[in-house]
């Protein structure tokens, strides 16, 4: 099944133009099997997510996108903001303690300079100790250029990590774009986390003949 792991809605993310219901309807019409609401440093109430999912007969799962010193990180399995989350090492500890999963969002944002050669960027940043806390990277981001996503993909390959895809939706035009293909059927948050931790998934670019990242 194909799930968009990275979306934003109002008012949880104040930079999004999407109301939750509008995003759900667009995702369903686009052929996605599910979406995750991952607001900026804000957490959905699990009961509200369950209600929306039941009302629309569509898989909706809760997560969050945390702003850290090393970039934005998607987390699943934690339901509230905890002091210190902006430190990646602390965030990893919190997520692990909760039995959750985390994904480095759009690695190009902080690690690829404007118009920089990909190999130069890889040589510069791949040795950074920060990446020891990251098991999964978002290699296909719906708002990233081909050059930017190629950097994320090559960095992920270089570091031998697993890669996901997400639209990073803030508007209707962002859906469908990128998502993640899962080998097994997923019906709840616990199953999503289990599959992420097991590595049974691939990033998929829905704009280019459902191209999948070979990671």
Residues 186/59, Cβ–Cβ less than 8 Å: yes
Q: What is the CATH number of domain 2-212?
A: 3.20.20.140
Long-range contacts at 82-90 (CB < 8 A, ≥ 24 apart): 88/130, 88/133, 88/134, 89/133
Q: What is the pLDDT along the chain (215 residues), one digit of tens a residue?
A: 999 999 999 999 999 999 999 999 999 999 999 999 999 999 999 999 999 999 999 999 999 999 999 999 999 999 999 999 999 999 999 999 999 999 999 999 989 998 899 999 999 988 899 999 999 999 999 999 999 999 999 999 999 999 999 999 999 999 999 999 999 999 999 999 999 999 999 999 999 878 888 77
* pTM for this predicted structure: 0.96
d(CA 161, CA 66): 20
Q: What is the dihedral of CA 201, 214, 128, 66, to 10 degrees?
A: -30
Domain chopping of the chain, boundaries: 2-212
């Amino acid at each position: 099944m194909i799930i968009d792991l990275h979306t934003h809605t109002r008012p949880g993310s104040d930079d999004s133009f999407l109301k939750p219901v509008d995003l759900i309807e667009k995702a369903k019409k686009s052929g996605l099997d599910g979406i995750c609401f991952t607001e900026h440093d804000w957490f959905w109430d699990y009961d509200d997510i369950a209600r929306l999912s039941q009302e629309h007969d569509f898989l909706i799962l809760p997560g969050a996108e945390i702003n850290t010193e090393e970039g934005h990180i998607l987390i699943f399995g934690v339901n509230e903001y905890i002091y210190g989350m902006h430190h990646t090492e602390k965030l990893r500890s919190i997520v692990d303690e909760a039995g959750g999963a985390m994904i480095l969002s759009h690695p190009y944002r902080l690690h690829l300079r404007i118009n920089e050669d990909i190999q130069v960027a890889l040589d510069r940043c791949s040795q950074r100790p920060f990446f020891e806390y990251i098991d999964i990277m978002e290699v296909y981001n719906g708002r990233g250029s081909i050059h930017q996503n190629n950097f994320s993909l090559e960095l992920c390959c270089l570091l031998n990590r697993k890669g996901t895809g997400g639209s990073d939706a803030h508007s209707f035009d962002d859906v469908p774009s990128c998502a993640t293909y899962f080998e097994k059927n997923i019906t709840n948050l616990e199953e999503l986390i289990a599959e992420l931790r097991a590595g049974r998934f691939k990033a998929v670019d829905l704009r280019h003949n459902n191209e999948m990242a070979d990671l």
